């Protein structure tokens, strides 16, 4: 390990269980010397196993529903108090579609579910940043990362309304990233990750085929949750100080492929 995050303080959203990308990220950040608070929605804290991660990484858990500005204000105040100073890094690792959960086809959405989905998966990122921004909670040269998926840019029919939520999320990263860069010298990026076997990942219909196809297309194969965690560490470190407003692919090269020999041979 390189102590890349020594002296840095952060907030990590979205560690549900040991498969979560946020879980691996917390472990890697801890190994690199960063300190942080963990947060998740109260129901996910009860359902999941975040306590074990808190013990392992010597961190505290502050519950927050990321769609509640009040919860986020409390979270950020407490995080600064617990960590003993302003924030250097934030990971938004949150996604959920009620239409996907209920098996509603893209052409047959329940719009109450649609609204809930974009609020949790995209607008929550705006809310997190707006609270950080208004509270002057970020240190200069801090780094904010959210996780996204390629279906925001290309059609993957079974990704359903999460595709639209991810497009919204990526746009928020650019738009807020402008103001965070200009006004506070903070960078904002999204990492577009390969399909990964997590609770959220398995929610996508036909996930088994989806992940195998992606692996067969990508010259380096799918990026794992650990690969994503390591990339995120790099994005939190001072090695990437002027990388901002980017959607960064961590996908083994999938995003620039048309077809691979391996996939062709299956026809």
The residues of the shown chain that bind ligand NAD, judged by CB under 6 A, are 13-14, 16, 20-22, 40-41, 44, 65-67, 93-96, 120, 147-149, 193, 195-196, 198-201
Quote the least distance from Cβ 182 to ligand NAD, whole Å.
26
- Residue placing its CB nearer to ligand NAD in the complex, 3 or 212: 212
User: Which run of H or E residues covers position 13?
Assistant: strand 9-13
Contact 176, 122 (CB under 8 A): no
Quote the least distance from Cβ 60 to ligand NAD, whole Å.
16
Quote the least distance from Cβ 189 to ligand NAD, whole Å.
14
For 135, other C-beta atoms within 10 Å of its C-beta total: 15
- Residue placing its CB nearer to ligand NAD in the complex, 180 or 249: 249
Interaxial angle between packed helices 50-57 and 21-31, expressed in degrees from 0 to 180 and rounded to the nearest 10: 10
The strand pair at 247-250 and 187-193 is best described as parallel
Quote the least distance from Cβ 65 to ligand NAD, whole Å.
5
As a 3-state breakdown, the chain gives helix, strand, coil percent values, each rounded to 5, of 50, 15, 35
- Residue placing its CB nearer to ligand NAD in the complex, 40 or 189: 40
- Residue placing its CB nearer to ligand NAD in the complex, 33 or 69: 69
Quote the least distance from Cβ 231 to ligand NAD, whole Å.
12
Cα 222 off chain centre by: 17
**Three-state SS at 39:** strand
Rounded CA separation 52/63 (Å): 15
- Residue placing its CB nearer to ligand NAD in the complex, 256 or 261: 256
> Which of 162, 203, 225 is closest to 28 using CA atoms?
225
Quote the least distance from Cβ 151 to ligand NAD, whole Å.
9
Give the Cα-Cα-Cα angle 128, 58, 244 (nearest 5 degrees): 35
- Residue placing its CB nearer to ligand NAD in the complex, 57 or 148: 148
Q: Which residue has the tokens 């297309």?
A: 217
């Amino acid at each position: 390990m390189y102590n890349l995050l020594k002296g840095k303080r952060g907030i990590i959203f979205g560690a549900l269980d040991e498969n979560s990308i946020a879980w691996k990220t917390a472990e890697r950040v801890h190994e690199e010397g960063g300190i942080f608070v963990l947060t998740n929605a109260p129901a996910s804290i009860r359902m999941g196993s975040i306590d074990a991660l808190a013990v392992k990484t010597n961190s505290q858990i502050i519950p927050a529903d990321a769609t509640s500005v009040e919860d986020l204000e409390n979270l950020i105040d407490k995080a600064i108090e617990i960590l003993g100073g302003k924030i250097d890094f934030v990971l938004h690792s949150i996604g959920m579609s009620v239409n996907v959960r209920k098996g509603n086809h893209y052409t047959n959405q329940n719009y109450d579910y649609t609204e809930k989905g974009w609020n949790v998966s995209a607008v929550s990122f705006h809310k997190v940043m707006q609270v950080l921004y208004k509270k002057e909670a970020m240190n200069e040269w801090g780094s904010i990362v959210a996780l996204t998926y390629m279906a925001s840019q290309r059609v993957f029919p079974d990704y359903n309304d999460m595709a639209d939520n991810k497009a919204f999320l990526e746009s928020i990263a650019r738009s807020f990233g402008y103001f965070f860069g200009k006004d506070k010298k903070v960078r904002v990026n999204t990492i577009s990750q390969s399909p990964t076997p997590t609770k959220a990942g398995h929610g996508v219909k036909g996930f088994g085929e989806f992940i195998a196809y992606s692996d067969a297309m990508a010259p380096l194969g799918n990026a794992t949750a650990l690969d994503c965690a390591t990339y995120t560490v790099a994005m939190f470190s001072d090695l990437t100080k002027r990388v901002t407003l980017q959607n960064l692919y961590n996908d083994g090269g999938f995003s620039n492929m048309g077809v691979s020999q391996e996939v062709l041979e299956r026809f």
